[in-house]
Amino acid sequence: MQHRRISSYLLCHVEVLVWHLAFIFAIPLSVAAQQSGGGSLQFKLLAGYSAENLDWSIAGKNTHAEAINILSELDWKKTGGVYLDLHGKWRVWKDLFVHANFSKTFVTSGTVSDTDFSKDNRGDTLFHDTFNSNKGGVICYNAAVGYKFHFLKKHSIAPFAGYGNDSQSLYIFRDNGNVQGDLKSTYQTKWNGFLAGLNLGICLNEKLTAGGQITYHQVSYSAEADWNLVTDFKHPVSFEHHAKGYGITTEAGLEYLMSKKISAMFTIRHGYWVTGKGTDTLYRSNGNIAVTQLNSVHRSNLTFSAGVQITFD
């Protein structure tokens, strides 16, 4: 557990550093943009609500040593809470831009079900229970470079490409079910890799603009779990997952210009992620290691947020 405490400590300080760097470099970057023939520096600060679903299953052998296609399945539903997002965009030269964003969801609600089977295709359920998952978080950050093209004078379309990373901290707590003891299992995920997308801006009038965005993510998926009550498993890492996959995120929103430098914003964002077959590596307390097939991982999320955008000329 010590390395998890260290990781949490470092993560907390990284978040503080990101916020401080954003404001420390806001003014110098704006000046540099003007001197290099570039344009504005923009910051968006959004807050709202986000909820996620995630499920995975593995193949394996039942108690009779028979291979079955779905041995165990975990399904997290509506793990959500307050969502915060800090987004920066710098017009480097003419309509060439770089942008980056950092967001975090503070999970305060959600459930997770755990089901084990002894026959193919989810046949003959051996165990099933539903637990609380009302703690944890989702952290996302990405950076990209793009170019904005204007059409019909007032509208724009901007392709971009870059790199992104999403990580989830998911928990399993007892909910008056069949499991006894101080259940506090964890499942920590990472989705990272190349991204490319397209942003569209439609000017409705002098003050109101409608926007849309679609982004494709080519990702590597990894996860670490600690099943804390299973004495046969090693701790703090009981098993690991690895797979390749992709994600598609879409976003729609409205921007209202309140003054020359300040706009109000409202956005809706949806994401869908899936992996192909991968590996499930189990670490037993006696030192043995067992490897089986991770069938797939599915993830979806929905976010509502509102906030302000500030432009530095």
- pLDDT over 70, % of the chain: 86
Could you write out the DSSP letters of every residue in 29-88?
Answer: HHHHHHHTT---EEEEEEEEEEEEEEEEEEEEE-TTS-EEEEEEEEEEEEEEEEEEEEEE
Residue 29 banded pLDDT, cuts 50, 70, 90: very low
Whether residue 145 is predicted with pLDDT greater than 90 in this model: the reply is yes
In degrees and rounded to multiples of 5, residue 229 shows phi and psi of -95, -5
CA distances from 151 to 34, 94, 119, 148, 201 (A): 25, 15, 58, 10, 10
274-309: pLDDT as tens digits: 999 999 999 999 999 999 999 999 999 999 999 999
Residue 15, both tokens: 């978040």
Q: At 3, list the tokens.
A: 């390395």
Give the pLDDT confidence score for residue 178 in this predicted structure: 63
Mean pLDDT over residues 183-192, rounded?
97
Cβ neighbours of residue 200 closer than 8 Å, sequence gap 6 or more: 155, 156, 157, 158, 211, 212, 213
pLDDT of residue 125: 92
Residue 284 DSSP code:
B
pTM for this one?
Answer: 0.85
Report the chain's mean pLDDT, rounded to a whole number.
88
DSSP state of 175: -
CB 20 within 8 A of CB 50: no
Distance of CA 308 to the CA centre of its chain: 22
In angstroms and rounded to an integer, the radius of gyration of the C-alpha atoms of the chain is 22
pLDDT at residue 50 is higher than 70: yes
* CATH no., domain 2-312: 2.40.128.90
Across 25-29, 55-59, 164-168, 174-178, least confident range: 25-29
Residue 188: what residue type? Q
